[in-house]
Amino acid sequence: PHVHQRILVTGGAGFIGCNLVRHLLDRTDASVTVLDKLTYAATPAALDDLPEARFSLVVGDVADPTVVDPLVADHDAVVHLAAESHNDNALRDPAPFVQTNLVGTFTVLEAVRKADVRLHHVSTDEVYGDLALDDPKRFTEDTPYRPSSPYAASKAGSDHLVRAWVRSFGVRATISGCSNNYGPWQHVEKFIPRQITNILAGRRPRLYGAGEHVRDWIHVDDHSAAVLTILERGRLGETYLIGADGEHSNLEVVRMILRLMGRGEDEFDHVADRPGHDLRYAVDAGRLRNELGWLPAYGDLEAGLARTVAWYTEHQHWWSPEKAATEAAYAAKGQ
């Protein structure tokens, strides 16, 4: 394996980033620097208690080369997560998605090219578009790119930039495409935390449309372990899909949450559907399992959800300041 001593994590104050930083500090001897703009989505509180000798936070924009170039040159690997990440926000205003996800990735690529630093680019299964409910096939690394939404298109474009920099400039990079994550520190705008915190706040869960849409859920710690595996042992230039065979319809997930929280299965509301809503995501992580030996540690979604419900119940002080504004933005769209 390639062992890295100084790892730069862009977007490390976000949901996946803050969980990944803990994983890197626990499982390696590396020191970790986070570069994060601290947008509305950041959760710097999650980084508060990290060891000062091995961790630092730099506040800055990943699309600003005057910040990114010297920082990258001072590290021996970059894990790039900084992005605008929420589909519903992209439907309200796509501009920051193009700026951060495309120009930001371009900026990181130019920096790693100049300094010859190893890059791992964190991407999503949404770049492949969606599948029919009854399609026996799942996404693989060979599935053609067919993004549907502004968010997915910006991530697809960022993947293409990485591949072009690998081929044209010999940049040492890998890409991962992960399915839907859940776990601690996820913003209350996202599906699972929104429903848990709705119930905790005395509101009802909100299901888009009929809820037949399927997502492939993975616990964020399993994602972190996969990213570290690819960073240390992935083949340069390669893409690896990350998923844990966690397909469930949104209706099933809402009912699971209601059950776990002691409510009736039908105590939710149907609300306006998302325009262009992708029907189904499903990931075949065979390459990652077979080539690199990664396996998810979390079993079924229900067990992971029970722990996540407990976490949000204990961290009301963290999420409640964001809750009212998030719900107001949804209400304005009939959601």
Residues engaged in binding ligand NAD (CB under 6 A):
11, 13-17, 36-39, 41-42, 61-63, 81-85, 100, 104, 122, 124, 155, 178, 180-181, 187
CA distance 17 to 100: 16
| The one catalytic residue among 36, 61, 88, 126 | 126
Contact between 194 and ligand TDX by CB under 6 A: the answer reads yes
- With CB cut-offs between 5 and 8 Å by kind, which of ligand NAD, ligand TDX, none does residue 16 bind? ligand NAD
* 126 in catalytic set: yes
Contact between 213 and ligand TDX by CB under 6 A: the answer reads yes
- To ligand TDX, the closest distance from the beta carbon of 1 in angstroms equals 27
Residue 252 sits at φ, ψ, to 5 deg, of -60, -40
CA distance 209 to 281: 17
Q: Helix 250-260 and helix 191-200: axis angle, to 10°?
A: 30
- To ligand NAD, the closest distance from the beta carbon of 99 in angstroms equals 7
Binder of ligand TDX out of 10, 148, 174, 180 (CB under 6 A): 180
- With CB cut-offs between 5 and 8 Å by kind, which of ligand NAD, ligand TDX, none does residue 206 bind? ligand TDX
| The one catalytic residue among 84, 125, 130, 189 | 125
| The one catalytic residue among 151, 281, 298, 312 | 151
* 125 in catalytic set: yes
- With CB cut-offs between 5 and 8 Å by kind, which of ligand TDX, ligand NAD, none does residue 228 bind? none
Contact between 182 and ligand TDX by CB under 6 A: the answer reads no
Residues that contact ligand TDX, how many (by CB under 6 A): 16
Contact between 217 and ligand TDX by CB under 6 A: the answer reads no
- To ligand TDX, the closest distance from the beta carbon of 6 in angstroms equals 27
Cβ proximity to ligand TDX, 2 vs 333, nearer residue: 333
CA distance 118 to 75: 9
Site for ligand TDX in 109-148 (CB under 6 A): 124, 126
Site for ligand TDX in 235-294 (CB under 6 A): 250, 274
- To ligand NAD, the closest distance from the beta carbon of 155 in angstroms equals 5
Residues that bind ligand TDX (CB under 6 A): 85-87, 124, 126, 180, 190-191, 194, 206-208, 213, 215, 250, 274
Q: Which residues are catalytic?
A: 125-126, 151
